[in-house]
Amino acid sequence: MADSVVSQDIPSVYEPSLFGTYSKKIGMWLFLMSDSLTFGALLYAYSYGRISTAGWPTPFHSASIINATIMTAFLLTSSLTMVLAVRASVQHDAKAQTLWLLATMVCGAAFVVLHGKEWSNLIAEGLTLPMFPAVPGHEANAEFANVAKSVPQFPSTFFTLTGMHMLHVTLGIVYLGVVALRRKFIPVLLVLWLIAWLGTPAYSPFHYGSHVLLLAAIVCGIILWLKPKVYDSSDVEVAGLYWHFVDLVWMFIFPLVYLMSARIL
């Protein structure tokens, strides 16, 4: 009996990719669209509070504005290094790709550290929420303490908006670390968690951030050990979309929250 010949002209059972692109990129765009609604709601809440509340405070002195400007410079630089990382991945230059991803992570980490210090200074000077623990042995600045009591909308919207953005930057750093270093990044996360947990007081924003690092290390460890993979140029491009979105959101927060609430002496 002659062997039967299977035709190779069988049509594909898979539908063509939506918009002619790969599914990971579409998924990231859909996530960013939904996330933009979250930030849009937070920006609207802050703007509405500013417009509708008489005597909206302007607590940011020149030091805070300078610090926020430096933070912005780090984020803008990170966007450039992220573009170079994507370019290196397209050119299949693995070494350059890793170096540019690490440079992006360093810029992002500098942003988080500066932002955490800004939070620490504001909390120590009396701009707090009821859930924040008191800073022991520190006399709260009367003006900032009055701001928290007389216009509670300001600290609640400020800490929620900037805290959500700082969380996104932190998760973006973890995301890039996994793409760049894969399993090698897990020990780095654990070391950073120990530093933040043991090296900062309980009322510090970095102490709260240590919980994020520990949770990220656990989740990344599970994912990388169950499904290890080598990330290609498409993964780097998708990570770049997320990172550029985080940078873009800050371009709305910086002028709205800091520049428009700056104290003019």
Q: Which domains does the chain have, with CATH numbers?
A: 56-181+231-261 (1.20.120.80)
pLDDT of residue 17: 53
Whether 20 has a pLDDT exceeding 80, the answer reads no
Which pair of structure tokens corresponds to residue 62?
Answer: 């020149």
For the ranges 83-87, 129-133, 193-197, 204-208, the lowest mean pLDDT is seen at: 129-133
**Most confident by average pLDDT, 12-26, 114-128, 177-191, 218-232:** 177-191
Q: What are the backbone dihedrals phi and psi of residue 151, each rounded to the nearest 5 degrees, phi first?
A: -130, 75
Whether 12 has a pLDDT exceeding 70, the answer reads no
- Looking at residues 79-104, what average pLDDT do you find? 95
Whether 264 has a pLDDT exceeding 70, the answer reads no
pLDDT in tens, 225-236: 888 777 888 999
Q: Is the whole model's pTM more than 0.95, yes or no?
A: no
For the ranges 14-18, 35-39, 53-57, 82-86, the lowest mean pLDDT is seen at: 14-18
pLDDT of residue 23: 78
pLDDT in tens, 127-153: 887 777 777 765 555 567 777 778 888
141-173 as b/e: b if 16+ CB within 10 A: eeebeebbeebebbbbbbbebbbebbebbbebb
- Looking at residues 56-81, what average pLDDT do you find? 91
pLDDT of residue 249: 97
- Percentage of the chain with pLDDT > 90? 54
pLDDT of residue 10: 46
Identify the residue with better confidence: 102 or 231.
102
* β-pair partners for 262: 60
Residues with Cβ within 8 Å of 137's Cβ and at least 6 positions away in sequence, in order, are: none
Rounded-to-integer distance, Cα 98 and Cα 147, Å: 45
pLDDT of residue 130: 74
For the ranges 21-30, 74-83, 86-95, 176-185, the lowest mean pLDDT is seen at: 21-30
Rounded-to-integer distance, Cα 114 and Cα 71, Å: 7
- Percentage of the chain with pLDDT > 70? 88
Rounded-to-integer distance, Cα 161 and Cα 157, Å: 6
